[in-house]
Structure 1
Amino acid sequence: MDRADVVDGGFRACINSKEFPTGSAPNDALPADLATEIFAAQCLSRNLDRRSRKMQSEGNGYYTIGSSGHEGMAAVAAALRPDDMAFLHYRDGAFQTMRSSQVEGVDAAWDMLLSFCTAKEDPISGGRHKVLGSKALNIPPQTSTIASHLPKAVGAAYSLGLGKRRAPEHKCLPDDGIIMCSFGDASANHSTAQGAINTACWTAYQSAPMPLLFVCEDNGIGISTRTPGGWIKASYENRPGLKYFSADGLNIYDAYKVAQEAAHYVRTQRKPAFLHISVVRLYGHAGSDMQQAYLPKATFEAWEADDPLLHSVRLLDQAGVMSPDQALTLYQDSEDHCAKLAAKAVKKPRLKTAKDVMASLIPPARTCAPTNGPSDEARAKAFGSDFKQMDSPQPMSRLLNWALTDLMLEHGEIVMMGEDIGTKGGVYGVTQKLKDRFGADRMIDTLLDEQSILGLAIGMAHNGFVPMPEIQFLAYLHNAEDQLRGEAATLPFFSNGQFTNPMVLRIAGLGYQKGFGGHFHNDNSLAVLRDIPGVIIACPSRGDDAAKMMRECVRLAREEQRVVVMVEPIALYPMRDLVEDKDNGWMTTYPSPDQSIALGEVGVDGDGPLAILTYGNGRYLSTQAAAALKAQGIDTRVIDMRWLAPLPTEDILAALKGAKKVLIVDECRTTGSQSEALMALLQEQTTLPHARIAAHDSFIATGPAYAATMPSRESIAEAAKELWSQN
């Protein structure tokens, strides 16, 4: 028998017999009318759980991780304001049903039933997944995430203080609001949770505003692994910078009172708090979880006997708010209501085609106030002595610095964050002087935690900022890649475009860096980025292109709400010469602020019949090889892709018109590299003979062999000659 039916039967039997579990008494903090609303939200959440299981058994439901046992979260919702953004644990159906009662025009039962059956009319995901979330309720959608939402909650909380001091154009959160983030006791052990909580404490310890309420819902078990008794309290009761509160989640009066106290502390002190709320888990982890296979029956029967709804009925009766019979009537009405609505919801159309599913991968554009660029006076003041050097050729690092300066002058909502980007100016000096020009508020030196850097950016974007996080080296991204894949890129997808987190992520990367780093500081694999749907990847090869592409990246984030990654080739930051020593052939002057390179626009040097298709360092090396090939009578055209995702197919094919043969030069590893997609493109859409040269499937060494595994000007020229000589 389904344990949901067992618990339902037990609930009804206890009410009929008037035999309730023992527990603490009601207090006077919760008014009678609000207590009734909380219990109604609990009943609705419980019956939605039961209905989701019945829908699944009938072939009409697709998600059964429920919230039963965690209904005390309805009291937490009641203690907060509806405009307090909430990043929810996946067991927080009761929080959402309670908040729905606080906002006019929201029907929690109908909305969640549509989500259970993946109907296209589901108001949060558009039928893509069963998610808790609602634009009207200020709840960004979450699925079965394991703590990955905590870093962005920290970022959103930080944005409240910054938004009060420097309001962005698209600000959407109130200055006196707080951020709430909930998670389970098992998730509290995840490195992502540990990093996020540490970041919040680290920030608050320095007296920076961090109005964030962490809510840990402790049911004592994570799927089958028990949490040691007392572990959560011992771990969080005495953390520096974090105020600890503890509440009984089985007692709505206590949960409301303590949640109110915690929220008041966070709201008035602008500091983080940790609300540890004890709950039970009913029905197992999910519908498919057979808890009797790993738990003694007596254990989960004890949890069922501590049903929070039974405690609520007892408390309401003791407080004189409603009798047990009235409570049962309300519960039955809730069940009947869910059953009636479910019968209608399952008849609603669902997504069918790839086009339907993918419609929300790309977020909608938003209207932005027109800008005319910074004034000459503002530029002269910001640039100082640099202003006089703009007519002289410069390397990429300097031109990127100037482009960032102009962009930050023009758009006050741009905020940069990363390790060493402020006072030091970055490992390679790209962000030098920006802290002096724009202040520490907009050039944030973060702690050493890539997950928190990206989480800060995602959360700040929720409040209208255009974040520009920096990951110091490409290899370091792997510590935090799920913040892009599982959070940033999926947010518009799972919210049907209602929530977005635009950003421009800058990463110093790729190979050819001499005398430094090895595989940790030279990483020539972009597969982790290319695999994420909806993410734009830019990769400039020369300073003028870098400046113009950076402007387009910011436009894409600011106006089109895109997640953009600019991979900046480290080896090309200081590059001055091209062919001969001191020829300054790879330096350019700074392009005027009104110039940009559009998404998908490739670059072409030359018009020879042998096309070399490449990007990044490959363009630099291929240009050198082209000079050697010309001396041997082979004319080339070097096509710089510039944009690696989405693949600029149309412009590549246009640039190949008139070419006779194509050599792909890819500095990334042969397996998983851009060259694989380019080979497929040429095979499927052209008749041109083609070949490729790519890096070996190897990590990069330090020392004299730093470039041994990657294409060189010599190997490119040799491959080009071999291809050209073939019939």
Structure 2
Amino acid sequence: MDRAQIVHQNFLDRVASGALPQGAAPAAGLAPEQAVGIYRAQVLSRALDITSRAMQKAGQGFYTIGSSGHEGMAAVARALRPDDMAFLHYRDAAFQISRADQVPGQRIAWDMLLSFACSSEDPISGGRHKVLGSKALMIPPQTSTIASHLPKAVGAAYSIGAAKRHAPEHQLMRDDSIVMCSFGDASANHSTAQGAINTAGWTSVQSTPLPLLFVCEDNGIGISTKTPQGWIETSMRARPGIKYFKADGLDIYAAHAVAQEAADYVRRRKKPAFLHLRTVRLYGHAGADVPTTYLPKSEVEADEANDPLLHSVRLLDQAGALPRAEALKIYTETCARVERIRAEVVTRPHLQSGADVAASLIPPTRACAASNGPSAADRATAFGGDMRAMSEPQPMSRLINWALTDLMLAHSEIVMMGEDVGRKGGVYGVTQKLHQRFGRDRMIDTLLDEQSILGLAIGMGHNGFVPMPEIQFLAYLHNAEDQLRGEAATLPFFSNGQFSNPMVLRIAGLGYQKGFGGHFHNDNSLAVLRDIPGIVIACPSDGAEAAMMLREAVRLAREEQRVVVFVEPIALYPMRDLHAAKDGGWMRTYPAPDQSIALGEVGQHGAGTDLAIVTYGNGRYLSTQAQAELEARGIKTRIVDLRWLAPLPAEALLEATKSCKHVLIVDECRTTGSQSEALMALFTEASDRPAARIAAEDCFIATGPAYAATLPSKDSILAAALDLVGAKP
């Protein structure tokens, strides 16, 4: 027999014989019916684990990371309210089952078995993944195995106090709610977890409300690597700003009592707490894992002898809540019931096509209150003397600042966060005066941790805000890219559109920043963003377009619940001149607040048919310089600006270039992994007209005079264009 069957038979034999493990007497605080309810949740969780393995062997199920040994989380669930948002560890089936018992109308065994079977009728993911989660139970689905859900749990907890001060239209949580996030002892060592815990403490010591309960389920091992004895307690007991609680998860009475104390502390004090819960791991890590291949059999058997269900039977019997015989009957009847449900569930339909699978990539739109934009009086108060300058051409950085001001005036649910965005006004002054105009609640100066910045945004998006986080430089995104890839972009997909975390992520990026910082401040690769399904990537090339595209980006986040990444070319922030010094050729006047550029709408500059230059960002600036010389040589040229890099506006690009004889793609990103690859494929597959591309070298950017040596230039664009059309240099 495998270990699951051994544990199952041990339970039957030991409960029947009364050979139960020893332990403390039942603590006060749990009424008999509550204690029995917790036990029933534990038993159903165990029965589902057993059945999931049988389903996998029969080719009917596809996931076997179980919750056996962690059933004490059923007691934690009873210590919380069912409307407290919970971000769960993947071993927390008992928590979800126990919470379902507190909410009328739930069919939790049926629903969870649909998930095991990956049926399209699975009410949380629609058959896309076996995940814990439920809209009715306030449990957003998680697929994380490395605690990457902890930063957004911090953000969600922060949003509760923020919503009390500035209630967003689509607020989900109550003012007295708390947030719970759970994870394993191995995951606690991950930088994502450590960053989130550090951020929680950093926030708490500043007396900022943060009603967050961390629950670390400590079974002492991560797959095959043991956690050092006492490591979690030693590393967490004295963390500043976070109160430490410890409980035995094998004892439902003790676990409930301590979890209740911790939850009450968090709810009453609005401060984070850390609940360290002892658990055991039964069966190994997952179905294919055999723990006796890397652990002594005696250790495996010792954990099995400490089966939490055996402890629960003893405690219930001692408390007079449930005799042993009745406990055994509940267990056998539950196992039989789960098998009966399994027989029906495996006949239910599955996703059939790629379109079916991708249907939830894009979240549904939501009804939003109509906005006529900021009032004239509000604008006059906010802008002050800047109003007089709006009729005059300005560089991009100032126009973005004004656009952000108008957007924040129009939509009170917009909140910005990032390093130095508040009092300093950003490294490049793009967010200057916004702190004075909107206050620190809406212009949040964060600690230096990109994972926490994005987690704050994701969590606030969960509670109805429209976050606009800023990553100071594109290269810094790589410290936190999984917050986009593994958390923000996947939430609608794995929740079948029931949960969303809209945001507009602003990133200062790309190259051509003269002599400053090398590749850390001049990062010309967007590849890490381009392959994330479902997100929108925008890149403006002049200030007026930046303002109008920002308005569309906010509309997409606010109304369509999209995740938008808005890449702002650093080198164009201060750009004033185009062809000659002091010609002011790249400055623009501020577009009226009701003007915007729709998603997928490309820009066209010029009407020439000899050559179309397809580009974006700094590439448009350089191509415009080259265009003047091409026109002087009699080569009629148009520039087509992508503006929206994802989803690629393929039809609009083909329409904008269809009358042109040649197509030259100018891409400031590296040759490998750049937009130019997809664009070359698009134009080559669409027609047989000559097409070529020029892109940056596959190299990092240097500091100093060679800052642009690896990048396209006006001269290299001109040379490539002349070669493509067959003209002499």
TM-score (norm 2): 0.99
Q: Residue type matched to 1:554 in 2?
A: V
Q: Match of 1:685?
A: 686
Q: Deviations over 1:624-668 (max 9, x none)?
A: 000111111111000000000000011101101210000000000
Q: Match of 1:418?
A: 418
> Any gaps of 5 or more consecutive residues in structure 1?
none
Q: Deviations over 1:510-535 (max 9, x none)?
A: 00000211010000000000010001
Q: Which structure 1 residue ranges, 4+ long, deviate > 6 Å from structure 2?
A: none
- For the pair 1:117 / 2:138, whether they are aligned, the reply is no
Deviation of residue 145 (structure 1)? 2.7
Deviation of residue 25 (structure 1)? 1.0
Q: Match of 2:12?
A: 12
Give me the whole-angstrom Cα distance separating, in 1, the residues matched to 2:689 and 2:561. Answer: 37
- For the pair 1:649 / 2:650, whether they are aligned, the reply is yes
Deviation of residue 16 (structure 1)? 1.2
Secondary structure of the residue that 2:613 maps to in structure 1? strand
Q: Deviations over 1:479-534 (max 9, x none)?
A: 00000000000000000000000000000000000021101000000000001000
Give me the whole-angstrom Cα distance separating, in 1, the residues matched to 2:373 and 2:468. Answer: 19
Q: Residue type matched to 1:477 in 2?
A: L
Give me the whole-angstrom Cα distance separating, in 1, the residues matched to 2:607 and 2:663. Answer: 13
Q: Match of 1:613?
A: 614
Q: Match of 1:699?
A: 700
Q: Deviations over 1:105-147 (max 9, x none)?
A: 1111101100000000000000000000000000000124311
Q: Match of 1:466?
A: 466
Give me the whole-angstrom Cα distance separating, in 1, the residues matched to 2:727 and 2:522. Answer: 35
Q: Deviations over 1:185-207 (max 9, x none)?
A: 00000000000000000000000
> Counterparts in 2 of 1:304-383, with a 5 A limit?
304-383=304-383
Q: Residue type matched to 1:91 in 2?
A: R
Q: Match of 1:435?
A: 435
> Counterparts in 2 of 1:164-203, with a 5 A limit?
164-203=164-203
Q: Match of 2:554?
A: 554
Preserved CA contact (<8 Å) 2:145 2:187: no
Q: Residue type matched to 2:673 in 1?
A: G
- For the pair 1:510 / 2:510, whether they are aligned, the reply is yes
> Counterparts in 2 of 1:252-651, with a 5 A limit?
252-609=252-609, 610-651=611-652
Give me the whole-angstrom Cα distance separating, in 1, the residues matched to 2:28 and 2:445. Answer: 46
Secondary structure of the residue that 2:274 maps to in structure 1? strand
Q: Residue type matched to 1:588 in 2?
A: R
> Counterparts in 2 of 1:660-671, with a 5 A limit?
660-671=661-672
Q: Deviations over 1:463-493 (max 9, x none)?
A: 0000000000000000000000000000000
Q: Residue type matched to 1:106 in 2?
A: Q
Q: Residue type matched to 2:296 in 1?
A: P
Q: Deviations over 1:594-637 (max 9, x none)?
A: 00000000000111121000000000000000011111111100
Q: Residue type matched to 1:355 in 2?
A: A
Q: Please, what is the CA RMSD of the aligned residues? A: 0.7
Preserved CA contact (<8 Å) 2:86 2:181: yes
Q: Match of 1:158?
A: 158
Give me the whole-angstrom Cα distance separating, in 2, the residues matched to 1:270 and 1:472. Answer: 30
Q: Residue type matched to 1:154 in 2?
A: V
Preserved CA contact (<8 Å) 2:509 2:570: yes
Secondary structure of the residue that 1:564 maps to in structure 2? strand
Give me the whole-angstrom Cα distance separating, in 2, the residues matched to 1:337 and 1:460. Answer: 40
Give me the whole-angstrom Cα distance separating, in 2, the residues matched to 1:621 and 1:143. Answer: 44
Give me the whole-angstrom Cα distance separating, in 2, the residues matched to 1:646 and 1:496. Answer: 20
Deviation of residue 687 (structure 1)? 2.4
> Any gaps of 5 or more consecutive residues in structure 2?
none
Give me the whole-angstrom Cα distance separating, in 1, the residues matched to 2:144 and 2:404. Answer: 37
Give me the whole-angstrom Cα distance separating, in 1, the residues matched to 2:115 and 2:466. Answer: 31
Q: Match of 2:205?
A: 205
Q: Residue type matched to 2:579 in 1?
A: V
Q: Residue type matched to 2:661 in 1?
A: K
Q: Match of 1:33?
A: 33
Q: Deviations over 1:403-440 (max 9, x none)?
A: 00000000000000000000000000000000000000
Deviation of residue 292 (structure 1)? 1.2
Q: Deviations over 1:205-249 (max 9, x none)?
A: 000000000000000000000000100000000111000000010
Deviation of residue 726 (structure 1)? 7.1
Give me the whole-angstrom Cα distance separating, in 1, the residues matched to 2:524 and 2:388. Answer: 36
Secondary structure of the residue that 2:141 maps to in structure 1? strand
Give me the whole-angstrom Cα distance separating, in 2, the residues matched to 1:408 and 1:202. Answer: 27
How many pairs align? 727
Preserved CA contact (<8 Å) 2:176 2:267: yes
Deviation of residue 686 (structure 1)? 2.0
Percent of aligned pairs with the same amino acid: 72
Give me the whole-angstrom Cα distance separating, in 1, the residues matched to 2:10 and 2:464. Answer: 49
Q: Deviations over 1:348-401 (max 9, x none)?
A: 010111000000000000000001111111000000110110000000000000
Secondary structure of the residue that 1:665 maps to in structure 2? strand
Q: Deviations over 1:537-586 (max 9, x none)?
A: 00000000000000000000000000000000000000000001100000
Preserved CA contact (<8 Å) 2:541 2:643: yes
Preserved CA contact (<8 Å) 2:421 2:443: yes
Secondary structure of the residue that 1:102 maps to in structure 2? coil
Secondary structure of the residue that 1:613 maps to in structure 2? strand
Secondary structure of the residue that 2:277 maps to in structure 1? strand
Q: Residue type matched to 2:215 in 1?
A: V
Secondary structure of the residue that 2:133 maps to in structure 1? strand
Give me the whole-angstrom Cα distance separating, in 2, the residues matched to 1:394 and 1:488. Answer: 34
Q: Match of 1:235?
A: 235
